[in-house]
Structure formats: C-alpha cells, structure tokens
Amino acid sequence: MSEKPNTPPSQENRGAPGAAANYLLLSAGSIFTSMLIAGFIVGYVLDEIFDTRPILMLACALLGFIGGIQKVIHLTKRLDNVQSEKKDD
C-alpha cells in the first residue's frame, strides 16, 4: 500500500474516543455473544492441536464468557461515567 500513514495518535486523543465508545455500546449484546462463540472456536482449535477435546474448548468458552461480561461492564461503565459527569455539571 502506498499511502503515507500513521502518525501515532496524539496524547489527548488516546483512550478517549467518546463518540466511538457510544457506537460500541450499540453492539454490546453481539460483542458478548461473539466472545462466547470465539471462545468455543479458539478452544476447538487448541483441542485439535493438543488432542485434549473437550477440556480446552469448555475452558476457553468459560474464558470467553468471562471476557464478554467484562467487556459489557467496561462499555456500560463509560455510560455511567458520562451520566454522572452530566449530573455534576
């Protein structure tokens, strides 16, 4: 690719894409389910490699479940922060 890319993000932009986080909120449900499915897929691949079926598949599905919940909490926390900031104003 010939584009001239990629100045690193400026400090004030980093980690604070407010609008972007709102759009991610729209898909919190599908992110959660995708994490669970992705857990099964990664576990299935690992099981194939290590010949341990179904232990790793179940373990990774559990990790995906935990990660999915963690992600949804992380996303919705942002919303709480924005609301409390508004109240403070």
Partner 1 sequence: MGTVEYIQHHLTNNTIGEGFWTFNMDTIIVSFLLGALIVFTAARLGKQLESGTPGGFQNFVESILDFVSTNVRDAFPGHNPLIAPIALTIFLWVWMMNFMDLIPVDLLPWLFQLVTGDSHAYLKVVPTTDLNTTLAMAFTVFALILYYNIKIKGIGGFIKMFLFHPFGKFFVPVNVVMTAIEEVSKPLSLALRLFGNMFAGELVFLLIALIGGTLAVGAAALFWAPLQVLLDLGWLIFHLLVITLQAFIFMVLTIVYLGMAHDEGH
The residue within the footprint of partner 1, chosen from 58, 63, 72, 78 (CB under 8 A), is 63
> Among 47-55, 59-67, 77-85, which window interacts with partner 1 (CB under 8 A)?
59-67
> Among 24-32, 47-55, 76-84, which window interacts with partner 1 (CB under 8 A)?
24-32
Which has the closest alpha carbon to 59: 42, 81, 71?
42
Neighbours of 74 (CB within 10 A): 12
Amino acid at 37: I
Question: Would you count residue 42 as binding partner 1 (CB under 8 A)?
Answer: yes
Distance (Å, rounded) from C-alpha 45 to C-alpha 58?
12
Question: Would you count residue 39 as binding partner 1 (CB under 8 A)?
Answer: yes
SS (H, E, C) 16-36: CCHHHHHHHHHCHHHHHHHHH
State the residues that interact with partner 1 by CB under 8 A. 1, 3-10, 13-15, 17, 19-20, 23-24, 26-27, 30-31, 33-35, 37-39, 41-42, 46, 60, 63-64, 67-68, 70-71
